[in-house]
Amino acid sequence: MKYMTIKGEKLSQLGLGTWNMGEKAAKRATELAALRYGLSHGVNVIDTAEMYGEGQAESLIGEAIKDLDRSQLFLISKFYPWHASPIDQEKSLTASLKRLGTDYLDLYLLHWKSGYPLAETVKGLQNLQAAGLIRHWGVSNFDTADMQELVAIAGEGAVFANEDLYNIDKRGVEYDLLPWQKQHSIAFIGYSPFNSGNGQSIPVKASLKQIADERGVSVHQVMLAWTMRTGQVLTIPKASSVAHMRANLAATDLVLTPEEVASLDRDYLPPKDKQPLESI
């Protein structure tokens, strides 16, 4: 397992995404087994949101972690933009904590931009942090200008992370957002490394297939290894079965050569100018 240190936190570079999990009783045992397998094999980051199944993913996680050492986990959840006021944030957090079976979150994120004044949202998050209900806070689906506004309000060093869509076929954030966050020591969490969140799979081009064949791995493992190639991105694939989880874990040991990365760049072009922020 690869780890990265962010503001003193040792985090697995591979996290557990939970979008669409916990929603079907027939899949619950399989999903629980997958989460527990990942956690028992070095993963310590779990990403969820109140939006995911209207809390059902959080309840699933609560069941998966109930017998584990909470201090060894890094739990991330998100609140709806229409819960961005300090009062509504606290209500959302209270409900999330109950479902998760814990008394604090390690990271709490505004799920996407809100019409509510950003300064007031920041104030609410700072209040929750001061109360010990969250250890860190951040945002999701923010672009560079949004992040600049956020840091202007909160100050340098206050924002822990921003979570955006990132995979080999959706690379727009590389142009300015990733460098900017690195410069300001703000972690980048990349969701949908397989682009599966919107049901549109990543096209398998010649370089991707060739690398997978030559390495004896799946194209999905190459995609996942690619997101982790720089050590800057914490990637959060969803795995709802032990077999899928095992494959994701194996991808953390796959180190792409500079030649392989270059060949992928020729098929999946890096951005040459500013791109609109994409989301799922």
pLDDT, position 178: 98
User: In whole angstroms, what is the distance from residue 118 CA to residue 154 CA?
Assistant: 10
In three-state form (DSSP H/G/I as H, E/B as E, the rest C), the secondary structure along 138-191 is EEECCCHHHHHHHHHHHCCCCCCEEEEECECCECHHHCCHHHHHHHCCCEEEEE
CA distance 156 to 43: 29
The one-digit pLDDT tens for each residue of the chain (280 residues) are: 999 999 999 999 999 999 999 999 999 999 999 999 999 999 999 999 999 999 999 999 999 999 999 999 999 999 999 999 999 999 999 999 999 999 999 999 999 999 999 999 999 999 999 999 999 999 999 999 999 999 999 999 999 999 999 999 999 999 999 999 999 999 999 999 999 866 678 999 999 999 999 999 999 999 999 999 999 999 999 999 999 999 999 999 999 999 999 999 999 999 999 999 998 8
Alpha-carbon gap, residue 30 to 80, rounded angstroms: 28
| Tokens encoding 17 | 């995404």
Q: What is the pLDDT of residue 203?
A: 96
**Residue 253: what residue type?**
D
Quote the CA–CA distance of 229 and 252 in Å, as a whole number: 10
How far apart are the C-alpha atoms of 130 and 152, rounded to whole Å? 20
Look up tokens 């609560």; give the residue: 62
DSSP label at residue 38: H
Distances (CA, A) of 65 to 78, 164, 183, 228, 231: 18, 26, 34, 25, 27
What pLDDT score was predicted for residue 36?
98
Residue 56: which H helix or E strand, with range? helix 56-65
**Pairing mode of beta strands 9-12, 3-6:** antiparallel
Residues 6+ apart with CB under 8 A from 210: 263
Are 107 and 135 spatial neighbours (Cβ–Cβ below 8 Å)?
A: yes
**DSSP character at residue 233:** E
Confidence (pLDDT) at 196: 83
